[in-house]
Structures are given as C-alpha cells and as structure tokens.
Amino acid sequence: MALRRRSIKDTRGEATLFRVRALVGFALILMGLGVLVARYQYLQVQRHDEFALRSENNRVKPRAIPPARGLIYDRNGVLLADNVPAFRLEVVPEQVKDMPAMLAAIREVVPLDDGDIEAFKKQLKQNRRFDSVPLKLHLTEDEIDRFAINRWRFPGMDVVPYLTRRYPYGPLFAHVVGYVSRIDADDMTRLDADRYKGTSHVGRSGLERSYEDMLHGEPGYELVEVNADGRVQRVLETHAPTPGKNLYLSIDVRVQKAATDAFQGRPGSAVAIDPRNGQVLAMVSVPSFDPNLFVNGISKADYAAYTTAEDKPLLNRALKSAYPPGSTVKPFLALGGLELGIRRPEDTVLSTGEFCIPGQQRCYRDDTRGGDGTVNMVRAIEKSTNTYFYKLALDMGIDRLSSWMGSLGFGKKTGIDLLGEAEGILPSREWKATRSKYPWFQGETVIAGIGQGYWNVTALQLAHVTATFAGRGTPYAPRLVMATQEVKQRPVPLANPPSGPSLIRKPHDWDVVNQGMEAVVTGGTAKGQFTGFPYVVAGKSGTAERFSRRSNEYDTNKNLAYLATRHRAWFIGYTPVEEPRIAVVAMLESGAWGASDAGPIVRKVMEAWLASTGGPVPPKNIEGAPASSSSVPEEPEDTPVASPADMSVMPSVPADSSTGTQSDDGGNP
C-alpha cells in the first residue's frame, strides 16, 4: 500500500506546497514575534514611567536618621546630660513569621521583662510593618554576644547602635534636668511622627521635657537600596540630621552640690535666683533620685522603691510642694503697707503679747510672751512681731492685701522654664468663695498677715518673690537655661526681659524693708547665722506648724528633735544688700526653727555661690557659728504658724475663724 502511494506521490508538487507553507509559516512567526515586540514596546515605552517608578520604589527606601539630642551643661560648661553609644535590639515585624513564638524564643537568649514586651507590642500596633521596632534597649555586652551567636534563629531581628542618655551627676540634677525615657504608645499619638522617626527617647521630665523641642533637633534621612528581603544593600544618598541645641544652665554644679549637701538628707528644697535677671543659681529638692535608671526603662523593683518611699524622692518639692510661708511674708506685707500709704516707717505699734480684733473676743498671740513692746516697721521685721502685722493686715484689708501680694507673684506660677509648677494659694475672698459657702472673716485677714491660714507657697515661688524684691521690684520670670548653642557655634544667651516695670514706686520703701531684713540677720531672729560672711546679708526666717494646736497652752517642750516633727522651717535671704546678686530660699519639711535650721542652708548656698564667682572666701571658723547659734533657744524665734493640713494638701476651711480652733500664736516663751 505504501508502495502504491509512493508511486503516485507528486514529489515536485509536495516541494512546492512545502515551500508555500514554510513561507506562510515564517510570515506567521514574524507576526508572532511582532506581537511580542509590540507588547514589549507597550511595557517599555508607553508604560515605562510607571514601571520605572515602581522599580525605584521597590529598591529605594528612605530611612530616617535620628538627630543627636542636644547636650546640657552647667553655666561653666560642665556636662550634665550626655549622649553615649549603646546597642538595642530591633525587630522588623514584616520579616517575622510567628511573632509570639519568636518572642518566646528570644527571651531565652536576651532576658526581657514584661515592660519590654508590653511597650514593644504597643508600638508594634502603631508602626508600619516594615519599620523596625525596638524590643530591648541598652543591651549588655553579654546580651549582645549571646544574640550574635543565635542571630540566625531570628530573621528580621538585629542589634542596632543608638545614642542613649547619661546623667553624670545622677541625683544632683534629677529635679532640674529631669530625664528622657523610651517613647511609648501615648507619646506616639502626641509627637510629630516625621520628626521622631527613628528616635527612641523623648524628654519625660524637667528641662529634658520643657526644652524637648530644642533638644530634639531635626531628623535627617538616607536613601538606601534594599533587596527583596528588605536588607539594606548600600546607602545611595545621605541627608544629615540637625542635632538638637545644647543648653547651658545658669546653675553652677558646685553651688547645686553645696545646696544639696546642706540638707544632709533632710527632706526640703532650696532655690537660689539672681535678682538681676531671674537666672536660677541653684534648685534643689531633697531627697532626689537617679535619673539614669529611667532612661532605658526602670525595673519594677526600682520604681516601686521610689514610689513607696516615705520621703517621696520623685517629688520635686521646689516646684510642686506648696506650704504655708509663715513669717517670711512679713517683709513683703510691710512693703505693701508703705507702698499703699497705710504705714509710715516711723509708725509704731505696741506689742503686748496678744492682739485682739476690736469688738471681738478672738485674740492672736505674739511669739514672745509679754510682747516686744513698742515697735516700728524695722523693729517689727527684725523681731518678727506678730501684733504689728496683724494690725497692718487688718488695716490693709484682705482685698488690698491679696492684690498687693498677688502683684509680687504669690498665688500664681512664676513662669519658670519647667512644666508642672504649682500655683500655691494666695488667700483672697475670691479664692475662699470657690471653696466655701462661708464669707470671708476678719480673723482670716489677721492670720494672713503672718503668712498662715490658707496661704501656700512653693520654694520656687517664694524665691521668685524674694528675688523680685531684692532686685528692687523688677520682676523676672525664673530661668534655668541661660543660653543655647547650635553645633559648632558659640552659645547664644536666651533673652529674659523683665516681665514688667518695677513693682516698687518709692525707692525709700525698699530701703526701710531692707533695713528690717538686715536687722533680722544682725540682731533679730537670725542673729549670728551670717557672722563672718563677707557681704551684708538680709533675710527673714519663717517657722510654720505642721499640726493644729489643740489648746491655748504654750508648748513647753523645747527639744529640737521634737519640734522638728512639728515645724517646717523657712529662710529667705539675699546678698549683697548694696546690689543684690543672689536671693536664696530654703525650706525644711521638718525643721525646728526657720532661722537656725533653714538659715544655715541659705548661708551655705551663698558661700558656695560666692566661691564660684571668685568673690571673697569666708573664713573657715564660720562653720561653727550657725551651729552654736542654733543651740540658743532663748533667742526669740518666729511664730510657728499652724498649718491645718499637711504640705501640699489644701487646708480645710474653718467653719468659723473666730472660734479659736485655729491656733496662730507663738509656741515660744
């Protein structure tokens, strides 16, 4: 059959047929290749821009470079807050397949506490999948080594260098400089995400917080080439970040140290201000804490130790704790009497030991049994004669009193460059109306005259008022930061113009009050406290009772330790009186007497300041002077003023001020 077929096969015709088919086939193939080329032309020319962009987006990713945080120096350039290199563990969520399993596994390599995990999980929810999230900060060398060995087990996880904060002086500046800590989920909603990309820490308290904006700087970025796994291949472009500004405090480390040491661990606070410009020269709250513990996450045990401690080391007493000022307000009230034309310097008052509001049963005591006799203004300040100020307050009236005192700065924020400042309380009709259904009683005006009753002030506030007075009435908002500095440039002073014109209209009024305050130190309640100090010091003591007196009996227990549990001690002072350059306020939460317990602290601050400015150095033997004077209880002290409630707690409003439930008279014979 095949043979038969072959015999009739048209070989020549077949070849021709094939030739046609081959040509047709080739034509079809060329068409096919043409279609292919058309498709490539469509992709590579028509849609080139689109795909070029997608290719770039594939390979080039921007990566934030966090700025270096500004450094903080004292006024002489001593470093108070430093950046030091450290390592942290970071996770790129996108590259982790099973997060819970990974977290369980990593804990065996690098110990994590629940706080780390919690913070990580919070941030995980907020971040984009391909942005890395820190898991643990400040790895130890041991942890870094162990991770390095096990790294292959943890894709998407890496040890990354960063800058962490260090406070070389630890507790000394904890209440001033504050600290930074890890950015948490709440911060993420508050902070500008673009500015904080790649940043792990933010200012949490103190200047670190109030100057956050300046300290932080502006982040830079780099364009990096990544592969399909997201691993960086190389850096294509770098735009350097702008580091944060450095801050220079007006505080001198040595003055701050001296002020802290002067407390010898006793709870209290001290603030020193330069009356000429509002610069804070020292600001101390005792006890303090170690800010370094907070930077990379404080352990639960450490934190619990701080929060449960009875003397509240985390509390910034200078800024936030308001206490009755006691007799320290007397010079300012006297000034008000002169300025408002209610008193002339030579006007006298007879102090008999007791002062009664005319037409009322209620009487108020002097601190000295039998009184100070006939006193004029200077003498009244020197002796802290209550009767003089009872009468002055009464003559002035509560409205003028609170308006005058308010103009000096009582009852409002000083405007210092820290956040969270307490306002304190300035007694006034308006204030009482918001708290009580009772009207204002005259007796309340009387006790306001000696800085008690509702009155509450912070050490900072009192220092601010003292400095304003010392500066002859020109008010300046207190400033901790004196100058700022951009990288590689000279520090630029921060302008701090006076916040208003001088509050004292007649310079002679100032002279009279100043004379009284000088007398306090030379022969009054603080006699001997400043003996040997090269400059003339003016001051005023204040002693406030922590508990309400239950009876009209004089307390005859003169044991200092006992009194310290019942009194708060204040002392305000400034020097040199000719042209005051420093005003200091010291407060001891448990001090027997203002002059003998708080006074030496003020003196030590002044001495350290004098030494730091290169002024005359006080002779050595002076050290013993305050101690010996404090052992002389016969010296009349201030009236210990009862405070119905504990420190920062609002005093309860007495139902009737004339009933005598509230004690205000002297405890001293």
Partner 1 sequence: MIDELQERLVQLLRRMAKRPRIDIPLALGLITLAGVGLATLYSASGGNMAMIAGQATRFVMGGMLVLLISRIPPQTLRAWTPWLYAASIFLLLVVAAIGEVRSGSKRWLNLGVMSFQPSELLKLTMPMMVAWYLHPRQLPPSWKDIIAVGILIGIPAGLIAEQPDLGTALLVSAAGAFALFLSGMRWWKIGSLLGAVAAMVPVAWHFLHEYQRNRVRTLLDPESDPLGNGWHIIQSQIAVGSGGLFGKGWQHGTQSRLDFLPEHTTDFIFAVFSEEFGLVGVIGLMLLYAFIIGRCLWIAMEARDTYSRLLAGAIGMSFFVYVFVNGGMVAGMLPVVGVPMPLISYGGTSAVSLLTGFGVLMSIYANRKIHK
DSSP letters, 273-339, are: E-TTT-BEEEEEEES---THHHHT---HHHHHHHHH-TT-TTS-HHHH-EE--GGGGHHHHHHHHHH
User: Considering the rule CB under 8 A, would residue 15 count as an interface residue with partner 1?
Assistant: yes
- Residue closer to partner 1 by CB (options 228, 561) is 228
| CB-based contact 513:338 (threshold 8 Å) | yes
Nearer CB in complex with partner 1: 31/350: 31
Region of 47-55, 80-88, 341-349, 505-513 interacting with partner 1 (CB under 8 A): 47-55
Q: Is the dihedral of CA 187, 190, 192, 195 positive or negative?
A: negative
Is position 29 an interface residue for partner 1 (rule: CB under 8 A)?
A: yes
Q: Is 205 tagged catalytic?
A: no
Q: Report how far Cα 568 is from the mean position of its chain's Cα atoms.
A: 24
Segment contacting partner 1 (CB under 8 A): 79-87, 227-235, 391-399, 638-646? 227-235
Beta strand extents in 137-178 (DSSP E only): 157-166
Give the Cα separation of 261 and 605 in Å (integer): 10
Residue 206 CB burial class (10 angstroms; 0-12, 13-18, ≥19): buried
> Across-strand partners of 540?
572
Give the DSSP H/E element, type plus range, for residue 433: helix 429-435
Shortest distance (Å) from residue 296 CB to partner 1: 35
- Choose, by CB under 8 A, the member of 54, 239, 505, 558 that binds partner 1: 54
Q: Report the residue from 12, 26, 64, 537 that binds partner 1 according to the rule CB under 8 A.
A: 26
CB 207 within 8 A of CB 176: yes
Task: For the CB of residue 177, give the shortest distance to partner 1 in the complex, in Å.
Answer: 46
Nearer to partner 1, 2 or 301 (CB): 2
232 contributes a contact to partner 1 by CB under 8 A: no
Which residue among 132, 181, 210, 327 is the active-site one?
327
Q: Least distance to partner 1 from the beta carbon of 94, Å?
A: 11
Residue 55 touching partner 1 (CB under 8 A): yes
Residue recorded with tokens 């310079």: 507
Q: How far is the CB of 61 from partner 1 (least distance, A)?
A: 11
Asked if 25 is part of the footprint of partner 1 (rule: CB under 8 A), the reply reads yes
**Count of CB atoms situated within 10 Å of the CB of 14:** 10
Q: Is 61 or 146 the residue whose CB approaches partner 1 more closely?
A: 61
* Residue 107, helix vs strand vs coil: helix
Long-range contacts of 218-223 (CB under 8 A, 24+ apart): 218/67, 218/242, 219/64, 219/65, 219/66, 219/67, 219/194, 219/195, 220/64, 220/65, 220/67, 221/62, 221/63, 221/64, 221/65, 222/62, 222/63, 222/65, 223/60, 223/61, 223/62, 223/63
Select from 43-51, 193-201, 205-213, 446-454 the region that touches partner 1 (CB under 8 A): 43-51
List the one residue from 76, 126, 233, 374 that touches partner 1 (CB under 8 A): 233
Among 140, 221, 226, 452, binds partner 1 (CB under 8 A): 226
If one asks whether residue 43 binds partner 1 (CB under 8 A), the answer comes out as yes
For residue 47, the minimal CB distance to partner 1 (Å) is 5
CB of residue 42 to partner 1, shortest distance in Å: 8
Binding residues vs partner 1 (CB under 8 A): 2, 5-6, 8-9, 11, 14-15, 17-23, 25-26, 29-30, 32-33, 36-37, 39-41, 43-45, 47-48, 50-52, 54-56, 58-59, 225-229, 233
Catalytic residues: 327
